[in-house]
Structure 1
Amino acid sequence: MHWIDPDCLPEVKGTVERFLLNPHGEIDGFVMSGETQAPVLVHTPPQMEAELTRHVKAGDVVSVRGVRPRKADLIAAVAVTTTNGASVIDREPDHDREHPTLEKRKMSAEGTVRLSLFGPKGDLRGALLADDTVIRIGPKEAEQVAKLLAPNARIAVRGDGIETKHGRVVNAKEIGTGSGDLRPIKEAKPKPKHEAKPKFDQAAHTCGGER
C-alpha cells in the first residue's frame, strides 16, 4: 500500500478524455476535463494499468486524489475512483515487473503541441499533440528542447514508435519544428564526478620545506 493515505489528499473530479502512453507503450496517465476549461494532466504509475483500464474508460467521470509537484501543472495520482465506487490505488512500485514486449517500429509525427507531459515529480518528459500522438523524450534531453514541447509550439519528431488500442507514442530520437528541420537529440552527458582533493600533509610542508 502507498505510504500516503489517499483520503488525506484533495480530490479533483473530471471526465477522462484519453489515456497517455510511456515509451514502452504502457499507460502512465490520462488527460481529464476538469470543472474549468483547461484540461487536467494526471500521472498514474504503469503498474496501475491493468486495474485502471478494467474500471475506467474514456468518457467516464472519475475522482482523483494525488499530489501536485511544484514544477508542473500535474496531479500525481495515488487513487482514482469511479462513479460506481471502484477505486484504483497506487500500491507502490513493483520492481520485479517487466515492461511489455510490444512491437516497435520507425515512426514520425508532426503537429501542434496541445499539452506538455511531465513525470510524477514535475520533470518535463514530452508532449501531447493536437492529433493525440504522444511524444516522449528523456527528462534530461527534454530540458534542452523545452520550447518545442510547450503548448501551441510546432514540432516534428522521428524515432521508435508503438501503437496500441489506446493510441500511439513516439520515443523521439530526432526533433525540429518541421519534417525538414530534424536534428538528433543529444543525449545528456552525465555530470563529472568530483575528484577527492589530496589531503594536506602538514609534516611535509613545514617552513623551509624541511620535515
Structure 2
Amino acid sequence: MSLPRMPRRGLLPVLLLAAAVPGRLPAQAPPARGSDLWFDPTQLPSFTGTVERYLSNPRGEVDALMFREGPQVCFPPDVAAAVRQVAAPGRSIIVWGIRARNAPVITMLAFAPGAEVTPVVVDRFYWRLSGRQASEGAEPLSLEGVVRQPYYTPQGEVAGAILEDGSVVLLPAGTAEPFRDLLRPGQKLAAAGPGRAGDAGRALLATQIGAEPGAMRPVPPGEPPR
C-alpha cells in the first residue's frame, strides 16, 4: 500500500493537497453527516487496507488496529465498537486521516467499509495516547514473545512494541529511547507491568523490560501525563 508523505505545514495545506490529487477519493464522495467539525475529513488522504488485528491499551480499551499491509491506525476508544462492526479482522476498510511524517501510523478522522458507503466521522482528534496510563485495578501482567513491529504514537514516535501474537508492550512517555534495540522487529522481548487482558488481546505499561524474563531491567516512570 502506497502511503503519501505529509506536507510540512499545518492542516490547511493537507486539505488543499488531498483535494487536488485526482483519484484519491471516491468520485463525489458523500458529505459526512452528524459531525461538528468545521471541515470535511474525507477531503484528507484516504488509506485502504485489510484489518489484520485490533490492538488494546493498558486500560483494556481498543484504540488502534494494524493493517495487514503494515501501517497502524489509531482512533478514540469510544468509536472502537463502530469500527470493529464495520471491519472485522480480515475485512477491508477505508480510513481518512493524517499520516505521521516519519512512521507508518495514521490518525483516523473518518472511516467506511467501502467507497459506496457514507463515511462515519470521528468527532475528535486522538493525538495523545491516554491509554498509555494503566487504570485503577489494572492487573500485574507479564508478556514474552517476538516483536512484530514497533508501536507508534500518533506523531510517529516509538512508544513500545507489538508482539507476534498481537500483545502490546507500551513504555512510559519519554522512556523508549534507551530500549530501542529491544523494540525492533524480530527481537525477543519480555516485559512486566500493570495492564489488562481482553478480547482484543493483552497490553501492559512496562515497569520492567528485557530480552528474556531473567534479564529484565527497570523502566523509569517517565513524564507525567498532560
The bucket for the TM-score relative to the shorter chain is 0.7 to 0.9
- 1:22 is aligned to 57
Q: Give CA-to-partner distance per residue, 1:76-131, whole Å, 9 cap, x none.
A: 1111211372633220169xxx9897852211111111011111111222111012
CA distance in 2, matches of 1:2, 1:18: 29
C-alpha spacing 1:179/1:2, structure 2 compared with 1 (3 Å): farther
CA distance in 2, matches of 1:52, 1:189: 31
The aligned length equals: 183
- 2:24 is aligned to none
Which protein shows a greater Rg? 1
CA distance in 1, matches of 2:59, 2:38: 27
Determine whether 1:142 maps to 2:173. no
- Give the C-alpha shift of residue 55 in structure 1: 2.6
My pick for the range that moved more, 108-117 or 49-58, is 49-58
- 2:98 is aligned to 67
- 1:176 is aligned to 210
- Higher strand proportion, which one? 1
C-alpha spacing 1:80/1:118, structure 2 compared with 1 (3 Å): same
Q: Give CA-to-partner distance per residue, 1:158-206, whole Å, 9 cap, x none.
A: 111211111111221100111110111013368xxxxxxxxxxxxxxxx
Alignment of 1:25-174 (within 5 A): 25-34=60-69, 39-83=70-114, 85=117, 87-92=119-124, 104-174=138-208
**Which SS does the other structure have where 1:140 is aligned?**
coil
| AA in 2 matched with 1:162 | R
- Give the C-alpha shift of residue 143 in structure 1: 2.3
**Which SS does the other structure have where 1:77 is aligned?**
strand
Unpaired runs of 5+ in structure 1? 191-211
Q: Is the contact made by 1:123 and 1:139 (CA closer than 8 Å) also made in structure 2?
A: no
| AA in 1 matched with 2:120 | V
CA distance in 2, matches of 1:181, 1:86: 51
Q: Structure 1 length as normaliser, TM-score?
A: 0.77
CA distance in 2, matches of 1:168, 1:31: 15
CA distance in 1, matches of 2:45, 2:83: 20
- 2:40 is aligned to 5
C-alpha spacing 1:86/1:60, structure 2 compared with 1 (3 Å): farther
**Which SS does the other structure have where 2:194 is aligned?**
strand
**Which SS does the other structure have where 2:166 is aligned?**
coil
**Which SS does the other structure have where 2:60 is aligned?**
coil
- Percent identity between the two aligned chains: 32
Q: Structure 2 length as normaliser, TM-score?
A: 0.72
Q: Is the contact made by 1:44 and 1:77 (CA closer than 8 Å) also made in structure 2?
A: yes
C-alpha spacing 1:164/1:130, structure 2 compared with 1 (3 Å): same
